[in-house]
Structure 1
Amino acid sequence: MVMPQTDAAFRTDAVPAEVAVSARNISKTYGEVEALKNLSLEFPRGQLTSLLGPSGCGKTTLLKIIAGLLEPTSGEIVVNGKPVKGPGPDRAFVFQDFALLPWANVLRNVAFGLELRGVAKSEREDIAEKYIKEVGLAGFEKSFPHELSGGMRQRVGLARALSVDADVLLMDEPFSAVDEQTRRKFQEDLLNLVKHENKTFIFVTHSIEEAVYVSDQIAILLPRPSRVSEIIRPTGLRDKDVDMLRRDPEYLDIVDQIWASLRSYVE
């Protein structure tokens, strides 16, 4: 089934010239369940691509295959021109459940990826402190995860991913466990990171509004077996004031267009 096409003002079919990550004919089968089928998608360097679709359509499966945490049944992932054979330093994962070390303080949690790489303590702590400050946690370096709110723990996870200086950040519904006010602040912070960090972000979300707000590119996935149905690039939004964006007519129109495409898959 082909989903309705979005208005031309919201869509371009031209592939960006510079691609950081390519998913090429990816299929993934779990026993008799076909999760992904010949899925192909390219992720532009330095931009944020959201994976959006109904529950169970394989968004997280695709993210884990890109991360090298799952092996595809067929097809390949290419990052910076090299096929993915497993996890690597060019990719960092921000987990939905924070995945923090409960016995380590914020500073050590953020520096942990660098510690695993053998970076000297003074150097890794300098790097960690930089990103702790960047995500708004300065002053909490000696705090432990149980002493932090859910939003603060998520910031620790994001700072840890940033500290390893991976080219690609993989984010699996990173804001779903926080309240709406914190989520909106995270979205604004994420836009700032995309603008200044020059990294490629691949972002899984169930929220249409969130996808349109933060994305340079939105890939709509079909239900199992999942394929890319449509790619939307809201090119007119990035130069607009983020404080006004949620009331912008173009933003609202894109949200409505995507909902029109997905509503038939919602039970």
Structure 2
Amino acid sequence: MANPMPARAADQSGTATSDAIVEVRDICKRYGDIEALRGINLEFERGKLTTLLGPSGCGKTTLLKIIAGLVPATSGQIRINGKVVTGPGPERAFVFQDFALMPWATVLRNVGFGLELKGVPQAERHRIAKHYIGEVGLSGFEEKYPHELSGGMRQRVGIARAFSVNADVLLLDEPFSAVDEQNRRKFQEDLLQLVEKERKTFLFVTHSIEEAVYVSDRIVLLSPRPGRVSQIIEPNIDRSAAPDVIRRDKGYLDVVEEIWQGLRQYAE
């Protein structure tokens, strides 16, 4: 495999693209006396996967939830497709770290629940739900309940549910943190296939530098609290090679090391 192009540091304003579906403008967030985020300005390009990365407590999940409309900003504005966000909306879907499945509902109903809320007829929502259950590798488990599934399988249900509502923007909060390393790597590969196939916009939160470099078109590094944009890196990984080749490639490893050197001062 030829070495991928070296990582490129993008404009730290985050406004490097004119095809932005998500615009973050001067976002600040306070919880009482605690300033969680300060002056965040970013744009997220349609059809790309951007990862938010930084030390614990830097506001990654807070920013993701503000974009989702689940948490109000103290000041600033979020726009999706040019419209100001005032709360959750159908153009966004959130994948929670803790799965957030309904324990009393089958896999089929959990995946189709967003469609049920939208009033989609049962036959149609079952068709769509079964399609995405298959896409995440869970065909045959439609009638199982969450307690009958492994942690990795439950997370796949959450991802299928997010895809089923056909949202433009998918927000994933550490979706693979609860699974073992073997499944985590498989999920990363599956995620890249879904990104390529679905052409959605993905905003991804992780604590793993290696994971961020492997899956991302762009990585936004946030500073310690109050979280600010400290650097934007574009890994430029050539993903046409086999996964094990990519993970051993010097270009990939150099980007991982570059990010680690930027973050190591904040390690506890």
TM bracket (short chain) = over 0.9
What SS does the aligned partner of 2:192 have? Answer: helix
Please tell me whether the aligned partners of residues 9 and 231 of structure 2 are also in contact (alpha carbons under 8 angstroms): no
- Give every structure 1 segment of 4 or more consecutive aligned residues whose post-TM-superposition deviation is greater than 6 Å: none
Identify the residue that residue 9 of structure 1 maps to in structure 2.
Answer: 6
Distance in 1 between the 2:239 and 2:75 partners? Answer: 36
Distance in 2 between the 1:13 and 1:95 partners? Answer: 28
Post-superposition offset of 1:101: 0.5
1:177-226 alpha-carbon deviations (Å, 9 max, x no partner): 01111100000000101111010000000000000000000000000111
What SS does the aligned partner of 1:243 have? Answer: helix
Identify the residue that residue 68 of structure 1 maps to in structure 2.
Answer: 69
Distance in 1 between the 2:242 and 2:211 partners? Answer: 16
Post-superposition offset of 1:98: 0.3
Percent identity of equivalent pairs: 67
Whether 1:250 and 2:259 are equivalent positions in the alignment is no
Distance in 1 between the 2:174 and 2:216 partners? Answer: 14
1:63-118 alpha-carbon deviations (Å, 9 max, x no partner): 00000001100000111111101000000000000000000000000000000011
What SS does the aligned partner of 1:231 have? Answer: strand
What SS does the aligned partner of 1:206 have? Answer: coil
The one-letter code sitting in structure 1 at the alignment partner of 2:120 is V
Please list every run of 5 or more consecutive structure 2 residues that lacks an aligned counterpart in the other structure.
Answer: none
Distance in 1 between the 2:199 and 2:230 partners? Answer: 28
The one-letter code sitting in structure 2 at the alignment partner of 1:21 is V
TM-score for both structures, normalised by structure 1: 0.95
What SS does the aligned partner of 1:54 have? Answer: coil
**How many residue pairs were aligned?**
260
Please list every run of 5 or more consecutive structure 1 residues that lacks an aligned counterpart in the other structure.
Answer: 1-7
Please tell me whether the aligned partners of residues 68 and 94 of structure 2 are also in contact (alpha carbons under 8 angstroms): yes
Identify the residue that residue 26 of structure 2 maps to in structure 1.
Answer: 25
Post-superposition offset of 1:235: 1.6
Identify the residue that residue 194 of structure 1 maps to in structure 2.
Answer: 195
What SS does the aligned partner of 1:78 have? Answer: strand
TM-score for both structures, normalised by structure 2: 0.95
Please tell me whether the aligned partners of residues 107 and 142 of structure 2 are also in contact (alpha carbons under 8 angstroms): yes
Distance in 2 between the 1:94 and 1:240 partners? Answer: 28
The one-letter code sitting in structure 1 at the alignment partner of 2:137 is G
CA RMSD in angstroms comes to 1.1
Post-superposition offset of 1:12: 4.5
Post-superposition offset of 1:242: 2.6
Distance in 2 between the 1:43 and 1:172 partners? Answer: 16
Please tell me whether the aligned partners of residues 133 and 160 of structure 2 are also in contact (alpha carbons under 8 angstroms): yes
What SS does the aligned partner of 1:9 have? Answer: coil
The one-letter code sitting in structure 1 at the alignment partner of 2:251 is E
What SS does the aligned partner of 1:27 have? Answer: strand
Please tell me whether the aligned partners of residues 237 and 250 of structure 1 are also in contact (alpha carbons under 8 angstroms): no
Please tell me whether the aligned partners of residues 237 and 251 of structure 1 are also in contact (alpha carbons under 8 angstroms): no
What SS does the aligned partner of 2:99 have? Answer: coil
Post-superposition offset of 1:244: 1.1
